[in-house]
Amino acid sequence: MEVTHGLEPQDSPKQLSTYELLGLTASLDLEVLEQYVFTRLSTLESSISRLSPTDADLFRQAFRNEEICYANSWLYILRATRNDLGGLGYKFVGNETLVGIGYRNNTLFLVHPTGTERFQTIINLCPKIYNSLKCPIILKKIDQGLYEQLYSTKLFKEHEHTGDLMLLEEEAFPEHLLELEKLYSPSFGLYNQSIPFIRKVKRFEKTSIELVAKAEISDIETNAGFHNLLGYNLDKYKSYLQIINEVRSLRSDNSNYKVCTYYDETKTIHGLYIADLLEKHTMGLYCAVSSRSFPGITEWMDYDFFKQVFNEGIGYLYFGGSETIGVDAYVKKLLPNVPRYLMRPMGMYYKD
């Protein structure tokens, strides 16, 4: 699927529907707004620059000095810093601090600050940004130590839902960690037979539908089934766009990534899974998208992908948080553990 930001020279507005014209106008407006925001940020603070695919090593190096957590992934940074068009966000590099930055839904997101001076950097940076842009500021994936420091200043608070707008995104509900041995080790046989998740897997196995797993995503956007995955939901597509671009680029030879697509007998895609190695025997799941075309198909693909990972020596799979109560309920059917660490989002108090 191609996201069009403007008209090609041969196109004529008369050839487009009103809906398409409105979509193009909105995209052009978002491009102008994004450029305005970046100009203000980079003028305000010289340590802020655009994020680039070549920044992967910069972030990975910073993560090596942090305790393991779901946010310690370049794939997570790519998704969490995206802009309204699905493009790359920004970064702050300086003062012994590294922060991913995203701007969407008229909200600025400061993502997973790392480094020895991250507290002082956030304290200095947020008021300057707010005074310049006058938009809400949300801090994503704040570790417990930094949370307590920021909370004590009374400039920040634990962020909550604002009306129907889910600004918290995947932090709306807590993170979870799946101990894969509980699903696949013979010693846990009674366990995995009893949970509703497994019952749905077995029910799907009894159907005539056969799925083939492939570690290839170079042309998934041209596949007819792609629309059932992401194509009909532009916001969802844009949230995964940079992750998809990353793993199908030359950097996808990085053995840290585990990629899997599921096709039926007509070669129609039904599932897309992307995980990243956090440390030995531990991975994070950053994309798990299903067509949901048949009852139990999502559970079957989840079970198969998790088993592939387990057979490759991975014992723990971090899911991160959930954006909706439905996804949170689905994850809980796996009877996952709660990670040892605690991360939660914060918002800035506004004093106008």
pLDDT in tens, 193-246: 667 888 899 999 999 999 999 998 888 889 989 888 887 788 889 999 999 999
Q: Are residues 187 and 78 part of one domain?
A: no
Q: Are residues 261 and 142 part of one domain?
A: no
Over range 86-106, report the average pLDDT. Answer: 95
Is the pLDDT at 111 greater than 80? The verdict is yes
Q: Are residues 328 and 183 part of one domain?
A: yes
Q: What is the pLDDT of residue 184?
A: 87
Is the pLDDT at 9 greater than 60? The verdict is no
| Predicted confidence (pLDDT) per residue in 30-65, tens digit | 888 888 889 999 999 999 999 999 999 999 999 999
Q: What is the pLDDT of residue 352?
A: 57
Q: Are residues 179 and 109 part of one domain?
A: no
Q: What is the pLDDT of residue 348?
A: 86
C-alpha R_g of the chain = 21
CATH number for the domain that contains residue 193: 3.40.630.30
Q: Are residues 244 and 149 part of one domain?
A: no
Show the 3-state SS of the chain: CCCCCCCCCCCCHHHCCHHHHHHHHHHHHHHHHHHHHHHHHHHHCCCEEECCHHHHHHHHHHHCCCCCCCCCCHHHHHHHCCCCCCCCCEEEEECCEEEEEEEECCEEEEEEEECCCHHHHHHHHHHHHHHHHCCCEEEEEEEHHHHHHHHHCCCEEECCCECCECCCHHHCEEEEEEECHHHHCHHHHHHHHHCHHHHHHHHHHCCCCCCEEECCCCCHHHCCCHHHHHHCCHHHHHHHHHHHHHHCCHHHHCCCEEEEEEECCCCCEEEEEEEEEEECCEEEEEEEEECCCCCCHHHHHHHHHHHHHHHCCCCEEEEEEECCHHHHHHHHCCCCECCCCCEEEEEECCCC
> Domain range spanning residue 311?
175-341
Q: Are residues 214 and 163 part of one domain?
A: no
Q: Are residues 235 and 280 part of one domain?
A: yes
Q: Are residues 303 and 191 part of one domain?
A: yes
Q: Are residues 195 and 139 part of one domain?
A: no
Q: Are residues 155 and 20 part of one domain?
A: yes
Q: Are residues 240 and 127 part of one domain?
A: no
Residue 195 lies in a domain: yes
Residue 7 lies in a domain: no
Q: Give the global pTM.
A: 0.88
Query: pLDDT grade, residue 16 (50/70/90)?
Result: very low
Please say whether the beta carbons of 290 and 298 come within 8 A. yes
Q: What is the pLDDT of residue 164?
A: 44
Residue 204 lies in a domain: yes
Q: What average pLDDT does the chain have?
A: 86
Q: What is the pLDDT of residue 21?
A: 37
Q: Are residues 230 and 142 part of one domain?
A: no
Query: pLDDT grade, residue 15 (50/70/90)?
Result: very low
Residue 129 lies in a domain: yes
Residue 79 lies in a domain: yes
The neighbour count for residue 187, using CB atoms within 10 Å, is 8
Q: What is the pLDDT of residue 14?
A: 39
| Domain count across the chain | 2
Q: What is the pLDDT of residue 248?
A: 87
